[in-house]
Amino acid sequence: MKNLDICLLLDFYGDLLSDTARENITLYYNEDLSLAEIAETAGITRQGVRDSIKRAEEQLIKFEEKLGLAKRFTSMQDGIQEIKIMLEDIKHDIPEHSSRVEKIISKADEILLLNRE
C-alpha cells in the first residue's frame, strides 16, 4: 500500500464512504484544510475530525486491498507512459513518419486523461 497514496484511493473509492466521512477527508487531502479548520466548519472537535479521517483512510485502504483497482490503473498508466516514450524515440528517429507517430502519441495522452475524470 505504500506506493499508492490516500488521494489516489480517495479518487477511486471516495464515493463508497459516508457523506460526512468523504467530506472531511476531501477537505483534508484535496483542499488541504487543517484539522482545526474542518472541525470549525463541521461543528465537531478536532479529535472527532481526526478520528473520522483516520477511519475513512482505513476504509479506503481496505477497499484497495479487496479490489486492487487503483493498482491496476496505475500499472496501465505506467505502461502507456512507456509506450509514449518508445513512440517519441521512433518519432525522433523516423522524421518522415513523425506525423503518424504523433497521432498515436495524442491517442495515448487521451487515454491517460481518462484516468483523471
What distance lies between CA 2 and its chain's CA centroid?
14
Shortest gap between Cβ of 36 and a copy of itself (angstroms)?
31
Cβ of residue 2: shortest distance to a copy of itself, in angstroms?
A: 20
SS3 80: helix
Residue closest to 50 by CA, chosen among 63, 64, 38, 62? 38
Distance CA 49, CA 77 (A): 34
Chain residues 28-67 in contact with a copy of itself, contact rule CB under 8 A: 63, 66-67
In whole angstroms, the minimum distance from the beta carbon of 66 to a copy of itself comes to 4
CA 89 to chain CA centroid, nearest Å: 28
Instruction: Give the binding range for a copy of itself (CB under 8 A) out of 24-32, 36-44, 50-58, 98-106.
Output: 98-106
Report the C-alpha gap between 77 and 115 in whole angstroms: 8
Binding residues for a copy of itself, per CB under 8 A? 12-13, 15-16, 63, 66-67, 69, 72-73, 75-76, 79-80, 82-83, 86-87, 90, 94, 97, 100-101, 103-104, 107-108, 110-111, 114-115, 117
